[in-house]
Structures are given as structure tokens and as C-alpha cells.
Chain A
Amino acid sequence: MATQVKIEKKVLSENDRLAADIRQQLQQHGVVALNFVSSPGSGKTSLLEKTLSALKDELRIGLIAGDVQTENDANRLRLAGGQMVQPLVTGGACHLDAKMITRVLPEFDLSRLDLLIIENVGNLVCPSSYDLGEAMKVVLISTTEGDDKPLKYPGMFRRSSVMVINKIDLLGTSDFDLERVKANARQINADLKIFEVSCRTGEGLDAWYDWLRDLVRR
């Protein structure tokens, strides 16, 4: 005789519990946290280097640089002026989870931070399942990728609040269509805030910086 035992439990309930704790800690200190996600090579670290150089004297920015191996990204961000950069090497894992953030968060003095940026592992699938306690996810895509990426990875684009399109200086050198990528992204998520930038030439970055300033002041 088979009997059903109701469980109704989220598989990631432990992660969600830790993420809720992190979110509460950050809110108590008025720290805005952003979770940066993208494919490998879209330019997460480049965008963060630019952002640090431009805003380091205005905003107190903490960074958690997630990487599968090496602390290369963390080193680049320190060189760009990052005062509070914490590397997080996953040792093979394809995403960051709340437990890893819980481990490195004590390295920061939250009372002296305005903004905490978490650079996730380059991957558009797995990181979408893990809440890190962030205020919002920022997804990056670059013009050297397919403009159908939002349709291929709907979970990530649905859960993100902001999309930054990087490498717009290379538009026209591939079949990437700027209007099409925006339409594809808005089909998944009509409320997505979109920035078009080139970390190489600096084009479009001022709007991104202004948005970050407003976000922190809010």
C-alpha cells in the first residue's frame, strides 16, 4: 500500500534562508547589492573596472569577484582602484550560492559601504537559480554574442532587472542586431532597464554611472 507524504519544500530552501539573512544585513546598513551575471567574455570585469575608476571617489563600492579558478578578476579590480575587493574562487562550481556569500561577507565593513557588487561566475544558466541576497540582478550581453540569447536563457533574463549591452563599438562587424536583442529581451521581461555601452570607447557609460548614483541615493 503506497501512501503519499506531503513535503512541499523548496529544494533550495536553505540557500533562500541564507539569502534572506544576507538581504536583511545589507538593508540594515543601507547597502545596495547587485548580482552581475553573463556568459564568459561579455565584459563583466571590464564594466566593473570602468565603474570603479569612474565612481570610486563618490561611492563606497565593495566587490565580490567570483571565479571558477584564479584571482585574476579580483586583481584587475584592485588595479582599477577597488579598495574593498574580495575574491571568491568556487574551485569548479558553475555558480555562486548564498553560503559562499555568507562566508565572505564578514570581510566587509558594511557600515562603510554604499554599493556591493557581486560578480558571478560566467554562466547564464546555473546562477539564475541561486538568490544571493541581492537587490537585483544585472545581466550583461555583448554584441559578439547571438542576439537570440535572451530567448535561449529566458530564466536569467526574466529574473534580471537590468540588461547592459556591451561592445557596441563592434556593432556592424557581426550579424548582431541591437533592436532584435532588445525586442527578444523585452519579450521575456518587459520591465527590463537597458543600457548600451562600450567599455572600450566609454560610449554610453555615463548613463550607467548616473543610474548607479541614483540607485544608491534612493
Chain B
Amino acid sequence: MHELSIAQSILNTALQEMASRQLPRISKIVVHVGALSGVVPEALQFGFDALKKQTPLEGTELSIEMIPVRGHCTDCGADFEVENFAFSCPQCQSGHIQMTRGDELNIAYLEVEEEPSASGATS
């Protein structure tokens, strides 16, 4: 159950961004969680919702996007989605698979309610 400390890191990062970019209100924090990141999304959501109370992010929604595991075969070069954590190439059956996606634990972007011309923001 390390999701609570991860939720705290997300909260702290968002608060820092809020201060440094002078964002008036963050409506949503979008995080990317890889299927092999070791993070349970329900526990992360629970932790975030508990920690955000009585902070400037009390009204902020945490949106968790799960990222499936993808692999690259270093023998034949095939790129594919790894299903059921079976790291074997569907084309040549090789087990030498580089994981290209699926271990992410990233804050992707914040959704902010403000004018689109504000500094530091992209549409």
C-alpha cells in the first residue's frame, strides 16, 4: 500500500505547479499509470481523495489513465501489445522483449479553468 505516498507526491507536484504557474484552479489532474507500474488505481484514487481534503485541490479530480504494456522484440523487431504479461514475440516467439510502455507513473497534464492565452498553457 504505497499508493498513499504516491498520491501525496501527485498532490505536492500539482500544488507546486499551481503556485509556480499561478494557476487559479486545477479541475483535473491526469496521470498515466502503466499496467506494470505496481500501482493499484483504486488505491491511488482512494488515497488522493482522502489527502486532497482541506487543500487548494479539494475540488480537483484525479483522472487515472491506464497504459497497457507494449513490447519490442529485439530479435525480429516486431512491436506489439503484451497480453497477460506474456513477454514473448507473437511473430518469432522470441523471449527477448524490450518493454516500451507499461511501467509509467507520470503526471501527464493538468486541466485548468482559465483563459487559453494564459502563460505556460497549451490548448
In the complex, A181→B106 CA distance in Å?
Answer: 32
Flag A151-193 by CB within 8 Å of B: 1 or 0 each.
1001110100000000000000000000000000011111100
Chain B residues with Cβ below 8 Å from A186 are 95
Query: How far apart are the CA atoms of A190 and B88 in the complex, in Å?
Result: 8
B51 at the A interface (CB under 8 A): no
Q: Count A-B pairs with CB separation below 8 Å.
A: 115
Cβ contact within 8 Å between A5 and B23: yes
Q: Let me know if A4 and B113 touch, CB within 8 A.
A: no
Bound-state CA distance A103–B109 (Å) is: 32
Residues of B within 8 A of A188 (CB): 85, 87
A94 partner residues in chain B, CB cutoff 8 A: 1-2
A187 CA to B94 CA in the complex, in Å? 11
Please determine whether A190 and B107 come into contact, CB atoms closer than 8 angstroms: no
Q: What distance in Å separates the Cβ of B81 from its nearest Cβ neighbour in chain A? A: 15
Question: How far does the Cβ of B31 sit from chain A's closest Cβ, in whole Å?
Answer: 7
How far apart sit A190 and B115, CA to CA, in the bound complex (Å)? Answer: 51
A218 cross-chain contacts in B, Cβ below 8 A: none
Give the interface of B toward A (CB within 8 A): 1-2, 5-6, 9-10, 13, 17, 21, 23, 27-28, 31, 36-39, 85-88, 94-97, 99, 103, 105-116, 118, 120-123
